[in-house]
Amino acid sequence: MLNKFYTDALGMKRYLQDLTRMAAQISHRYPHMSVLEVGAGTGGATKVILRELDNAFGSYCYTDISTGFFNEAKETFRAHKAKMTFKALDIEKDIVEQGFEEQSYDLLIANLDVHATKNLEHTMRNLRRLVKPGGYLLLLEIKDNNPLRFGFILGGVPGWWLGHDDGRIMSPCVNIPAWNEVMRKTGFAGVDSATGHVETCPLSVMITQAVDDRIRSMREPLLSPNLPEISKTTLTIVEGTGTKSSQLT
């Protein structure tokens, strides 16, 4: 029943579509990207995503804390066999100790699993280590705790309460400003984009870019301490009408 819940519950089709559309936009630009999905479980999101990406990705690493899902997943995704790997990954534990290389993925996908961890900041730091600077983390999360149905349905599952000591007492889920804050603390840019709010469907797809000094200076050249480095080379300034570009000029 829970497997069905994650694909067929009210609003889920639309959220998976949003998640997929964002993944497809990234793959349109980076058709050789290496993708890693965390907590892929029964592959509810993977099915939709792979259908949409078609062949526009270099590799897809399908992970979950439990390897129990992999035999069936290998069968389900046999058409993509050449590009897929299946590996155990606990996002609460050190990624290198689990056999993963740091900064080796262009896109991480996490569909409804990051909230089910003890400490969001710790988990996000682990995820940040997996992704290359400039790469992206795509998250589907419950961002509004007002509708009670999630707590009623999932409150009997111990994982729902893991965030208790992290201050997530009545529910493990947090709102978009809180995600933004934790992203910014952990080497991501913050919520770069999030799908809008519909009253009955309190979930959101968020995307954030993994940043380091180089990526920060590309995103915000005017705030960058590296700007003098750039100006040593020939620089063409295309001026707009806004204050930001006139300051730069």
Ligand X SMILES: C[S@@+](CC[C@H](N)C(=O)[O-])C[C@H]1O[C@@H](n2cnc3c(N)ncnc32)[C@H](O)[C@@H]1O
Site of interaction with ligand X (CB under 6 A): 6, 38-45, 64-66, 89-92, 111-113, 116-117
Give whichever of 92 and 181 is closer to ligand X, judged by the CB atom: 92
Q: How far is the CB of 63 from ligand X (least distance, A)?
A: 7
Give whichever of 65 and 191 is closer to ligand X, judged by the CB atom: 65
**At CA 93, angle to CA 46 and CA 65, rounded to 5?**
35
Helix (H, G, I), strand (E, B) or coil at 105: strand
Give whichever of 38 and 211 is closer to ligand X, judged by the CB atom: 38
* Strands 193-194 and 203-209, bridge-based pairing: antiparallel
Token pair belonging to 20: 């997929």
The rounded distance, in Å, linking the Cα atoms of 246 and 249 is: 5
Q: Please answer whether residues 45 and 19 qualify as being in contact, where contact means their C-beta atoms are separated by less than 8 angstroms.
A: yes
The rounded distance, in Å, linking the Cα atoms of 125 and 188 is: 9
Q: How far is the CB of 47 from ligand X (least distance, A)?
A: 8
Token pair belonging to 7: 């694909």
Q: How far is the CB of 140 from ligand X (least distance, A)?
A: 8
Give whichever of 117 and 208 is closer to ligand X, judged by the CB atom: 117
241 HSE (CA, 13 A, CB side): 0
Closest of 170, 106, 171, 179 to residue 139, by C-alpha: 179
Q: How far is the CB of 39 from ligand X (least distance, A)?
A: 3
The rounded distance, in Å, linking the Cα atoms of 44 and 7 is: 6
Give whichever of 28 and 93 is closer to ligand X, judged by the CB atom: 93
Q: How far is the CB of 163 from ligand X (least distance, A)?
A: 12
Give whichever of 27 and 46 is closer to ligand X, judged by the CB atom: 46
Q: How far is the CB of 235 from ligand X (least distance, A)?
A: 45
Scan for tokens 């909230």, then name that residue: 115
Scan for tokens 């100790």, then name that residue: 97
Q: How far is the CB of 48 from ligand X (least distance, A)?
A: 9
* DSSP bridge partners of 131: 105
Neighbours of 90 (CB within 10 A): 18
Give whichever of 11 and 240 is closer to ligand X, judged by the CB atom: 11
